[in-house]
Structure 1
Amino acid sequence: MSDRQQWTIDSDLDGIDLDPEDFKASVPLKKVPTGDVFEASRAGDVERLRYLLESGVNVNARDQWDSVALYYACLAGHLDAARMLLESGAICSEHTFDGDRCHYASLNLKVRKLLKAFEARPPPLGPLQAALRETFLGSRANRTYFEQSDNLTHFHGTLSNDTSTSCQFPPDVVFFVQGRPIEAHRVILSARSAFYMKKFESDWRNRREVRFSSGKLSYPALYSLFHFFYSDRLEVAVDDMEDLIRICKVCKCEELQKALGKELIHQKYADYKSLRDEDNSQKRFILQGLSLPEEDRLPAALYRILQCSLAKSRREENLENGTEELVSGVRALLMSDFGDDLADICIRVDGKIFRCHQVILASRSEYFKARLSRMTEFLEGTNRLPGDTLPCLEEHDLSTEAFEKMIEYMYTDGLKDIDPNQAEEMFDAASRYLLFPLKRAVADALLPHLEMVSPAELCQWLMLSDMYSVLKIREYCLDIISCNFETFADTREFRAMLLELPPPSGDSSLRTTLPSAPGAGVNTDQGNILDDLREKWLEAEAAELDKRDESAALFDQRLEMLILVAQQENTGNDTDDP
C-alpha cells in the first residue's frame, strides 16, 4: 500500500497528489526585523508583516522583479502571512496578472484553497470609498449596467438589496456614450480629473447632459474610470485597457495611465497557459487606489476640494456686511484665485457659513441624506450673503470648530489633528449625525495624546469612552490600568471613579476555566467596565488557568477595599464642606 496520502480536491485541481511534506514552507520561518514587506512575506515573519501593514505599506506594491508580497508568501507556503496579506486587500482573483501568478506559484493545497476562499471577496474599501461607491451604483443607469454585466458582478461584489440604494443622492450630470448613460456628480469628477474640472468651469458649466459623438469611445472603459473615481478601486476587462489608457490621457490621470500601461505589458506578454487561452473579455485588471501616489487617491482629491470651499467660505464670511456690488466683484476674484469649488449647499453653524457639497454629505451621513432628500429650494436663517443662490441649512448646538473637523472626516476619512478638549463634542456629533466611524477617527488622532496623560486624566477618558462607546480608547485605557493597577489604586481619582461604576458581576461563569456544555450559549456581554478590567488584569498577571477563579476573587476583594476607601474619602469631603 502506498504511503502517499490521497486528497479530495476541487475539480480544477484533479489529478494532483500531495504529500504531507508538501505543506511545509520551502523557506524556513525566520525573523526579519528590518525587512521590507517582500522579505517579511518570503520569510513568514507575521509580526514584521503586521507592523508594516499597520504602518500603511501598499499591500499590492511590486518589487524590482515585478512581484507582489502575496506571491512570495504563496511561493514559500506561509499560510498565516498569506492570510494577513489577503485580509489587508491583496489581490488574488484569477484572470488577473498578480492573481494568476499567486495561484500557480502556491506551494501547497492549503494556500490555493485560501486564495479560492478570498477570490470571491472584493478588496475591502474604506468608509469614504464604500459610501461613494454606493452612491454611484445607486443611480439607476449605473446600477442597470452593473446588474447586466455578469463579468463585473464577480469583481464588484453585490449591492445591498435595500431599496434605499436606488434612492441615493441624485446625479447632477449624465454622460451618453454610444447612446448609453452614465450618471455622475460634478464635484467627484472635478476632484479626480483636471480635464473634467476645466470642462465644468467652461463648456459644460450649465449642462446636465453631455453626449459624446465619437464612436471610438468605449462605454465599459469610461464606466470603469468613473467607478474608480468614486471607489478608488479600478476593475476593467483586459480588452478595454487600451481604450481606458486613451481616456486617462485625455482626462490627465497620468499616474493611473502609467499603471495601466505597465499592466498592459504584463497582460500581453504573460507566459501562463491560462492567460494565453483565456478570452480577454473575461480577464480582469484590478487596481487599488493605494497603488497610486497619495495625491492621486480619493481622500487627497476631496481634501483639495474641501480646502477650496473652506477658503471661499472664510473670504465670503468677511464680506457679510459689504454691499452686493462689492460681494459680486470679490466673488469674481475668488473664482480666479481658487477656481470653482462646485459647492451646492451652505451650512450655517453658529453664525458661520460653510460651503459644502450635497453628494458628500448625503453619502457619508444618513442624517444629511434624509434632510437633503426631502427638501428642495429650501432656506434656513435670514442672515444670508447678498446674491447667494445656494440653499442653506442651519445646524444648532454645535461649534464651528467641531463642524469643520466633522466635514474634514466626511471628505477624507481621517483627521490630521484634534484638540483633546473637542473630543466629547466630536463623539456627540458622531452620534447625532449618524456618522459612527468618526469616533474611531477621533480616537486614532487622540491616542498619541493619551500616552502622556496622568492616571487621573486617563480615568476621565475611560468614563468618556464608555459613555460614547468609543471602543478603541476604552480598550486602551483598560489595558493601561490593568498593567499598572497598583499605581491607579493609589490614585484618588481612580477610587472615586469606582463609586460611579456598576459593581462587577461576580458571576464566575464569565471567568471559569471549565468547558461549556454542548450547545450552551456563550455570554459575550462585556459592557461592565469592572468585568472587563478584571479580565484584562488576569491576562496581564498571566494567572494560571487552574487559578483564574481564585485570582479573580482576590481582584474583586481588592476592588471592594478600594471602594470602601473611596466612600470614606467621599464622606470626609462632605464633612469638610461648610
Structure 2
Amino acid sequence: MDTCDLFSSCRKGDVGRVRYLLEQRDVEVNVRDKWDSTPLYYACLCGHEELVLYLLANGARCEANTFDGERCLYGAQSDTIRRALRDYRQVTASFRRRDLYYSFLLRSFRAHRGILGARSTYFAHMLDTKWKGKSVVVLRHPLINPVAFGALLQYLYTGCLDVGVEHVSDCERLARQCQLWGLLGGLEAKLASKPGVCMKVLTIEPPQADCQLREDLALLADCALPSELRGDLGELPFPCDGLSSCPDVCFRVDGYDFLCHKAFFCGRSEYFRALLDDHFQESGQLAASGGLPAVALQSVSPEVFTHVLYYVYSNHTEVPPELACDVLSVADMYLLPGLKQLCGRSLAQLLDEDSVVGVWRVAKLFGLARLEDQCTKYMARVIEKLVQQEDFVEAVREEAAAVAGRQETDSIPLVDDIRFHMGSLVQTRHAMEQAAQRLHVLEELLVAIGLDC
C-alpha cells in the first residue's frame, strides 16, 4: 500500500507525501513497480522538478549509460530536469569513486576473513586450508581480473554489484569459481532482461524478498555468541569454537563473553566507535579467552545484547514484544536508530485498549514517529472506551500543558492527531456517521476537563 502511494505521489508531484513515505514509512526510494519503473522516472516524466531534486538527494539512482538513467533522461518533461539529471553529483559520483577505488585495488584488496567465509563456502574452505594463518594472499592466476574481483568483493559485502559490461564475463567466471550461484544467476538474468539496450555499466541489486546477505552475516553473530547461549543453531559453514571467525574484541555482559568484530560495531554505532577508541587507549584492559581485549558493558542483559548483536551484524533481529521496551532502551543508548524502529514494529503488536496509551508514551519518549502515528490511529478507533480511562485523560492534559503559553483556542497535538485519523477513516456514509459520533465523544471529554479547543 505504501509503495503504491509513493508512485501515485510521484506522479502528482506531492513532495510532502513523498518525504513522509521515505522518511517515516521507510519505503525504498528505488523500488520498482510492475512496469519496472522507479519513483524518479515518474517524477521526471510528469515534470516535477522539486521532487526530482529531492529524490536524487535521497539516494535515487540515475547513473549515466544505464537503463534507468537513459529512461529518466528520455522521459524528462523539461530541459531543467534533464540538466539536473546530468549535472547532479549523484549521477557521476559512483563512477568517480569506482575509478579511484579500482585504481587502488589494482595493487591490493583489504577484506575480512569472517565476511568472506560467511558469504562463500569456497572462501570458507580456502581460509581454513590453503590460506589459513596468512595475512596476505597473492592471486597470480592470469584470468583473475582485478576490476572483476573488486566487484565480487562489493557483492560479498553489500549484496549489490556495479561493473562495466566489458568485465561481466570475468565476473561470471569468478562467481562460478567461488560458488556464488546467486550472483551468477543475477548476472545472466540481468543481461537477458535488457535486450537491445545499450549499457555500459551493469548493476545488480538483490530483490527485497532476498534475505541471503542478512542470513550470511547472521552466521558471524552466531559465532560471536557465548557457547552457553547458542542453543541449536544448526550446522555452520565454519566452526564457532576458538577464533575461526577472527574476532578482535570481546564484549563481556553479565559474565558472558561475546567474541565480536570492531568493524561491525564501530561502523554501525557512534557510541561503540567512541567506546572502543577510548577503551583501547586505556591501560589495564580486561583480557578475554584467546587474548582478546575485553570491554565490560553495563546496564544490559545477555538476552537483550543478543538482539543488539544480531542487528549489528545482519541489520535485523526478531524482537519479541515482551522484550521490546528493554531492547529499545539499549538501542537508544547505543545510538542504533534502525534497531529502535524494529522495536517499534514489535511494540505495535501490543496495541489494545489497555496498552495503547502506554505504547504511545514510549513512542514519544524515544522519537518513534511511525509507532506514535499507529497509536493515535488506534486511539481514533476506540475513543469511546479511551475517554473513560484515566491514563488517556492524563495524557491529554499533559499534551495541553506542554504547549508553551497555551491559549484557549490553541490545539493539542495528541487531539489533533486523533481527529486527523478519525477523518481519514471515512470512506462511506456509515463511516461518516461513526466518525461524527467519535468526534462528539472526544469534544465532550475536552469540555469536561476544561480543554475545549
**With structure 2 as the length reference, what TM-score do the two structures score?**
0.72
CA gap 1:150/1:490 in 2 versus in 1, 3 angstroms: closer
Q: Counterparts in 2 of 1:328-407, with a 5 A limit? A: 335=239, 340-374=244-278, 375=280, 388-407=290-309
Q: Where in structure 2 are the equivalents of 1:153-552 lying within 5 Å? A: 153=96, 180-264=107-191, 270=196, 275=198, 283-290=200-207, 294-296=210-212, 298-310=213-225, 312=227, 314=229, 335=239, 340-374=244-278, 375=280, 388-420=290-322, 422-450=323-351, 453-454=352-353, 456-498=354-396, 503=401, 505=403, 531-540=412-421, 542=423
- Contact 1:415/1:445, CA 8 A, preserved across alignment: no
Cα distance, 1:117–1:264 mapped onto 2, change above 3 Å:
same
Q: Runs of 4 or more off by more than 6 Å in structure 1?
A: 53-58, 86-90, 336-339, 376-379, 506-512, 554-557
Aligned 8 A contact 1:367 1:434 in 2: yes
| Amino acid in structure 2 at the alignment position of 1:68 | D
**1:327 maps to which residue?**
none
**Structure 1 residues 115, 229: CA separation in 2 closer, same or farther (over 3 Å shift)?**
farther
Partner of 2:433: none
1:95 Cα deviation after fit: 0.9
Larger radius of gyration: 1
Q: Does 1:59 align with 2:2?
A: no
Structure 1 residue 113, shift from structure 2 partner = 3.1
Structure 2 residue runs of 5 or longer lacking an equivalent are 14-20, 232-237, 425-438
Counterpart contact for 1:186–1:200, Cα < 8 Å: yes
Change in CA separation of 1:502 and 1:206 when aligned onto 2, cut-off 3 Å: farther
| Aligned residues of 1:92 and 1:118 also touching (Cα < 8 A) | no
SS at match of 2:176: helix
- After superposition, the Cα gap between the structure-2 partners of 1:417 and 1:115, relative to the gap in structure 1 and judged at 3 Å, is farther
What is the CA-CA distance between 1:442 and the residue it aligns to?
Answer: 0.8
Report the identity percentage.
21
Cα pair 1:308 1:341 within 8 Å, conserved? yes
Question: Match for 1:187: what amino acid?
Answer: G
- SS for the counterpart of 1:397 is coil
Secondary structure, in 3 states, of the residue corresponding to 1:214?
coil
Matched, 1:69 2:37: yes
> How many residues are paired up?
412
SS in 2 for 1:290: coil
1:389-413: CA deviation from partner (whole Å, max 9, x where unpaired): 3332211111111111111211222
CA distance in 2, matches of 1:75, 1:539: 28
The amino acid of 1:188's aligned partner reads I
Matched, 1:113 2:81: yes
C-alpha change, 1:390 and 1:485, in structure 2 (3 Å) is same
- Residue 448 of structure 2 corresponds to which residue in structure 1? 561
Cα distance, 1:75 vs structure 2: 13
Given that residues 30 and 39 in structure 2 are in contact (C-alpha distance below 8 angstroms), is that contact kept between their aligned partners in structure 1?
no
Higher mean Cα deviation, 209-218 or 88-97? 88-97
Task: Select between 488-497 and 247-256 the one with higher mean Cα deviation.
Answer: 488-497
Q: Distance in 1 between matches of 2:285 and 2:389?
A: 50
Question: Would the aligned equivalents of 1:93 and 1:119 in 2 still touch at CA under 8 Å?
Answer: no
Kindly indicate whether the alpha-carbon contact (under 8 Å) linking 2:45 and 2:77 is maintained by their aligned counterparts in 1.
no
Q: 1:413 to 1:563 in 2, by over 3 A?
A: farther
The change in CA–CA distance for 1:56 and 1:367 in structure 2 (over 3 A counts) is closer
8 A contact 2:286–2:293 mirrored in 1: no
Q: TM-score normalized by structure 1?
A: 0.58
Distance of aligned partners of 1:539 and 1:379 in 2 relative to their CA distance in 1, 3 Å threshold: same
CA RMSD, aligned part only?
Answer: 4.9
Which residues of structure 1 form unaligned runs of 5+? 1-32, 124-148, 160-175, 317-333, 513-529, 544-551, 565-578
